[in-house]
Structure 1
Amino acid sequence: MDLNLQVFQNELTCSICENCFVDPITTDCGHSFCRPCFYLSWPNRSVLAHCSESQEEMQQRDFHTNVCLKQMVLIVRQARLGQFLRSKDNRCRIHMEAKQIFCEDQRSLLCLHCSTSKEHEAHRHCSVEEAVEEHREKLLKTMCFLWEKYCESHIKLNVETVTTRSWEIYVSSKREGIRAEYDNLPPSRYMEEQTHLERLQREGKEIFEQLKDSEARMAQKRELLRGMYTELKEMCHKPDVELLLDFGDILHRSEAVCVHMPQPVKAELTAVTIPGMIARFDLFKGMTDAYRLR
């Protein structure tokens, strides 16, 4: 690689992944990172982020792409790709010409003669440079959507975790409320009270199990989203030609991960009485019965 190009590239390197920036962002303190690297190094989205260079705490949560840096990285990548396309390693073995055309159907590099042959003439073609940027931008767009889903999943998981941890305390408070309600009623209502408590216990246990299952599914989904995001990031960092040839079905797999996002359990108890409700209901029932006897 040309020495000047190497020096230029070194100035456009993310300190986290040590690769050329991908969708670069710049923090308040002036340091720049790949957006995906920065996000993945920020494990807890509920707290403020810290710059890995200055260790300064940042108030902002949304970061805009540093367009100037992104354009400079593009210049470096295009120069590096141009060197490869002109190299001896990229010559067609049949026609001894540079392979500068990308066949989308077979995911291969072709020279001009091969692209117009009977084998490839019906396929979709474009220049390698155009294909690389188009594929990388598709990856970045998908990553943006994946990260939104990841953050959404993270928030829902936190809510479900808090609900699960406090559920037994909540059920216990309702149990005490029922007992306090029946303490104001005649002893003849004892069996009714026990039926109500048993129902509360059964419902509470069923909902607790649902919460635990939901929490596990949400945690699994969150890790799947993070794993897919990491895979897309690694794909973005691949050399241009390698990115094209290895692209495969990664976008389809990313879409599949976002399907069937777990939703929080609707944790509601039906076996709950409102203070004074039983007494008021009995009074109302007595008045209704008296009215009917008139």
Structure 2
Amino acid sequence: MDGILQVFQNELICSICRNYFIDPITIECGHSFCRPCFYLSLPNRSVLAHCSECQKAIQQRDFHTNVCLKQMVLTVRQASLWHFLHSKDNRCRIHMEAKQIFCEDQRSLLCLHCSTSQEHEAHRHCSVEEAAEQHREKLLKTMRSLWEKCCENDRKLNVETVTICSWEIYVISTQEAISAKYDQLPLFLPLEEHQHLVRLQREGTDIFNQLKASETNMAHKRELLRGMYTELKEMCRKPDVELLLDFGDILHRSEAVCVHMPQPVKAELTAVTIPGMLARFNLFKDISESFYYIIHP
């Protein structure tokens, strides 16, 4: 019987973290993983991923929670929690009863008598089992939102990196196009052309530096977001009682990490047209027309 139970428990363990599943998902090939473990193992969303178990390619990107696996893990956790709550180590020293009530205000375990005492009667209470699942679901909800921020930041980081790689070529080609336009002017303006190209080069360098700074900020934000996501994952996998007692301000810190998300630089050159070009053409046109009428009265 113990052997069958062991086999059953092994089926509830993620092959990546070697712990019970957290928000389990089942991918196309049939293998299951913790959602956070699977997400963190992906190189990025633009690269074809492979299952770490069978190496089959993974085309899918949106995954639903495997409700059956999640319920089985919950059953195992509840059984473990029941044994702890009814152990000698979890008895109230005053009333010698099991501490099965969680006090939200003081983040402590209480027996029934203590929860109705004058000290705690005005506090928010619920069963340890209910409190643990509520807190774990809050963590999972926060993790899903945080991962969306991670993906959003990664997409913007990729855009910034690609822009940086092509920016120098773009500036050079724009300079060549500007020179070609000056060559088409009826007036020879070497000094103005030089000043225009210098101004364009200076603007291109400024934008390049902005792009590099933006890329650095996004890379730093990526580390912060993933670090917070990993911390939430580790909190989520803690045993129920430990999770409740250690919960602290982790949700507030998670919200703080998502504030001031870096935005891509608006990489556009403004010095791409020749100043006064239309006016010069109109002036030349007027002079040409006047000269025409002089020689052709």
Q: Same fold (TM over 0.5)?
A: yes
Q: Distance in 2 between matches of 1:74 and 1:50?
A: 28
Shift of 1:43: 2.1
One-letter amino acid matched to 2:160 = E
Q: Distance in 2 between matches of 1:58 and 1:36?
A: 16
Q: Percent identity?
A: 77
Q: Distance in 2 between matches of 1:251 and 1:43?
A: 26
Listed as ranges, the gaps of 5+ residues in structure 2 are 290-297
Shift of 1:9: 2.1
Q: Quote the residue 2:148 is aligned against.
A: 148
Give a deviation string over 1:2-33, Cα, whole Å, max 9, x none. 87655432221111111111110111111111
**Helix, strand or coil for the counterpart of 1:15?**
coil
Q: Quote the residue 2:281 is aligned against.
A: 283
Q: For 1:202-241, what aligned pairs fall within 5 Å after superposition?
A: 202-241=202-241
Q: For 1:112-123, what aligned pairs fall within 5 Å after superposition?
A: 112-123=112-123
**Helix, strand or coil for the counterpart of 1:120?**
coil
One-letter amino acid matched to 1:284 = N
Q: For 1:1-294, what aligned pairs fall within 5 Å after superposition?
A: 6-185=6-185, 188-273=188-273, 281-287=279-285
Shift of 1:65: 0.6
Q: Distance in 2 between matches of 1:111 and 1:288?
A: 98
Give a deviation string over 1:242-292, Cα, whole Å, max 9, x none. 011000000000011111111100011111138xx976542224456899x
Q: Distance in 1 between matches of 2:9 and 2:92?
A: 29
One-letter amino acid matched to 2:71 = Q
Give a deviation string over 1:54-83, Cα, whole Å, max 9, x none. 011011111111111111111111111111
Comparing 40-49 and 70-79, the one that deviates more: 40-49
TM (norm. structure 1) is 0.93
Q: Distance in 2 between matches of 1:184 and 1:213?
A: 38
Q: Distance in 2 between matches of 1:53 and 1:85?
A: 37
Distance 1:137 1:289, change over 3 A: farther
Listed as ranges, the gaps of 5+ residues in structure 1 are none
Shift of 1:45: 1.4
Shift of 1:118: 1.8
Q: Distance in 1 between matches of 2:178 and 2:137?
A: 60
**Helix, strand or coil for the counterpart of 1:19?**
coil
Q: Distance in 1 between matches of 2:278 and 2:266?
A: 29
Q: Quote the residue 2:292 is aligned against.
A: none
CA contact (8 A) 1:177 1:273 kept: no
Aligned-CA RMSD value: 2.1
Shift of 1:50: 1.0
CA contact (8 A) 1:5 1:76 kept: no
Q: Distance in 2 between matches of 1:89 and 1:270?
A: 72
Q: Distance in 2 between matches of 1:48 and 1:122?
A: 55
TM (norm. structure 2) is 0.92
Shift of 1:114: 1.1
Q: Quote the residue 2:295 is aligned against.
A: none
Shift of 1:116: 1.3
One-letter amino acid matched to 2:280 = D
Q: Distance in 1 between matches of 2:54 and 2:287?
A: 77
Q: Distance in 2 between matches of 1:42 and 1:215?
A: 21
Q: Distance in 2 between matches of 1:290 and 1:107?
A: 89
